[in-house]
């Protein structure tokens, strides 16, 4: 059985739902609370590569940390990645990895489809 890694925030309802979905599916894995254990830039880039998304695609644009960045509309992907590292609250969650692939599990249907792959 493949094990999962879920990067999540336990205060987020969608994140808790994804974790429960994985458990209900009979999967075992690791829970990483990325607000408590922040990513390095290299770790987050590797995860983004695995889920095949750019930093801008996992950016929570309604957060005050993002809105407080004066030049936010002109940032390139590497600069957005730096913002995600500096303010991990800006990372959309949850992210689930199984093997060398993964998914942004929001909405939950994304996770259900991902688990049905292969």
Residues annotated as catalytic (active site), given as ranges: 12
CB contact at 8 A, 92 and 59: yes
Q: What are the φ and ψ backbone dihedral angles of 17, each rounded to 5 degrees?
A: -65, -40
DSSP code for 68: T
8 A C-beta contact, residue 65 and residue 87: yes
Token duo for residue 39: 């990513």
């Amino acid at each position: 059985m493949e094990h999962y890694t879920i990067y999540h925030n336990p205060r987020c309802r969608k994140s808790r739902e994804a974790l429960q979905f994985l458990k209900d599916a009979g999967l075992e894995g690791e829970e990483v609370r990325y607000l408590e254990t922040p990513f390095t830039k290299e770790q987050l880039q590797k995860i983004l590569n695995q889920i095949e998304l750019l930093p801008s695609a996992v950016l929570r644009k309604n957060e005050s940390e993002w809105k407080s960045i004066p030049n936010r509309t002109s940032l390139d992907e590497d600069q957005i990645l730096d913002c995600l590292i500096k303010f991990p609250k800006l990372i959309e969650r949850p992210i689930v990895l199984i093997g060398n692939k993964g998914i942004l599990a929001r909405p939950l249907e994304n996770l259900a489809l991902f688990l049905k792959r292969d």
